Each structure stands twice: as C-alpha cells, then as structure tokens.
Structure 1
C-alpha cells in the first residue's frame, strides 16, 4: 500500500529491519484496527495499512526505528558498556529512554497519539505482547517503537476521518 513514490534508502532499511526483527506491516495495522474500530466500525485493514505506510514514510519515524533497533541489537550481542548493557537487556522500568524515542514518533501526529500510545503500551496486544516477552530477544526499544507507529497511524486516521465527516 505504499504510495506510488519511490521509497528512499533510509525507509527501505527501516522497513527491512522491522521485518528482520519479526514485525510485519500487517501486525502494526492490526494494532491500528484494535485502537480505532470502536470509533469507526466500517474500518478496514486496508485503511489501517495505508495509514501505517504513511507514518513509515516520515523521516523522523525511520530514524527512530533505525536507532532503536540498533540499540536492541547491540544489547542482544552484549556490545554495550555497563551499566547500560544491563539496563537495556532487562528493559528496566525507570530507564524511559525507549519511551522517549517512541514519543518522538507519536508527536508527529498530535496529542491524540499520546493517549493512543499510553493505552496500547499498557495493554500490549498482538505483536507487542510477543516483542515484550524477553524470551524472544531484546526488544526494549522495538516494542515501544511499534506501539508508537500504531498510535501515530491511529491518530492520522482519526484526523483524516474527522475532516471527512
């Protein structure tokens, strides 16, 4: 569902890294559907995917994806210095930098994204439950980034639906 524009290299790499870490666009679209279907009963998965694609086209989002995934990978490989290595490996609750990166994504589409993000981060539906499980690798940043992409796409969807009513 990517628009007819050519994806640049950064976007291609960001999408590739998401896929390599087990996150499909469909997974994120399902989160958007989860967040928005009660407000838009006629919502389709195609519309959800389209909004996810539009969010992924933003350079700020791509940069957050690359940064977060790189830090997760380095932590998995034990390549960070202490105490940061342990903090990221354990996904310590008071660390908060992973949420700050996620909020940079959410901020792209306004304040409604913050509430969407907070809700989905607490509930951990779908792919977020998998990413949050420490047995599946280090996803300290990725679970928050995926939740933020879904929250931003939900916000984008809400804004576009409001303008058409």
Structure 2
C-alpha cells in the first residue's frame, strides 16, 4: 500500500523530495542533516498503515471534489477550502500524532507558513488540494518529529 500512496501523491503533483525539503527546513537548525536522512524518515512514516489510510482518504476526497462527484454542501466546502471546515487538518493531525507533540507544533508552523510545495498546493488554480496540502504538511511534520526523537541529547 505504501507504493500506492506514493503514486497517489506523485499523481497529484507531490514527490517525496518536495516533502524532504520541508523536513530539512524544519530540522536543519538542530544538527547535521542530509536530504537522504529526510527521505529515509519520510519513508518510515509512509510505512505506517494509519498514515496510508489518511492519505488515501484525503486524496480521494480531493479528487472527487475536483470532479464534482460529492454532494452539496460538501462539494462547495472542499472546492473553496472553507477555513472553518477543519476536517482536513484533523485528518492530517492523525499522521503527526504518531510521533507526539513535536509533530503537532511543526504541523502548525507548516500550515501557517505554507513553505515550498505547500504554497503551490494552496493555489486554487492548481486544483482542489483541500486535504493534500495538510496531508503533506502532516507527513513532513511527522518525519521531522521522527528525526528529532532519534537524536541523542
């Protein structure tokens, strides 16, 4: 299933290197780090079944909204990325929760700042990515937290 979600991400315009850049930005100030470290951590996060399920669910909802296959008022809410909807963030937080509160704070930072690929995903002209932007931020935050937890202090 990991290969399926990686393909889903790629089909929606996100590759693992895009996510690795976010992880790198989150963790580089805390010690030596390579892009390979970031990619390794992302791959470990993507091995988790609950992460795979969150990605599958969110990406499919985005695709269905883009194709007008959802009922109203949900269709309009997702197409507009309604700020008070919040379910997109809740789904992404299920990813960050796997690695504790550091993932939560990193997710909040990424969600607010819209760094890298997140900026592109938030542009409505690039399609409906109501869930995907938060899922990508969740993956990056979890991978970053995983790295932080692995460092010896």
**Common fold: TM-score over 0.5:** yes
1:80 aligns with 2:61: no
- Write the deviation string for residues 92-120 of structure 1: whole angstroms up to 9, x where unpaired: 00000000000000000111101000001
SS of the equivalent of 1:37 reads helix
Give the aligned partner of residue 36 of structure 1. 27
- Write the deviation string for residues 10-31 of structure 1: whole angstroms up to 9, x where unpaired: 2111111001001100000000
Q: Which runs of 5+ in 2 are unaligned?
A: none
SS of the equivalent of 1:94 reads coil
After TM superposition, the runs of 4+ consecutive aligned structure 1 residues lying more than 6 A away are none
1:139 aligns with 2:151: no
1:104 aligns with 2:94: yes
The 2-side partners of 1:120 and 1:151 are apart by 8
SS of the equivalent of 1:26 reads helix
5 Å matches for 1:10-89?
10-40=1-31, 42-89=32-79
Q: TM-score, normalised by structure 2?
A: 0.98
SS of the equivalent of 1:43 reads coil
SS of the equivalent of 2:33 reads coil
Once the two structures are TM-superposed, the CA of residue 39 in structure 1 deviates from its matched residue by 1.3
Once the two structures are TM-superposed, the CA of residue 138 in structure 1 deviates from its matched residue by 0.2
SS of the equivalent of 1:149 reads helix
Q: Which runs of 5+ in 1 are unaligned?
A: 1-9
- Write the deviation string for residues 112-132 of structure 1: whole angstroms up to 9, x where unpaired: 101000001101110000001
Once the two structures are TM-superposed, the CA of residue 38 in structure 1 deviates from its matched residue by 1.1
Q: TM-score, normalised by structure 1?
A: 0.91
Q: How many residues get paired?
A: 153
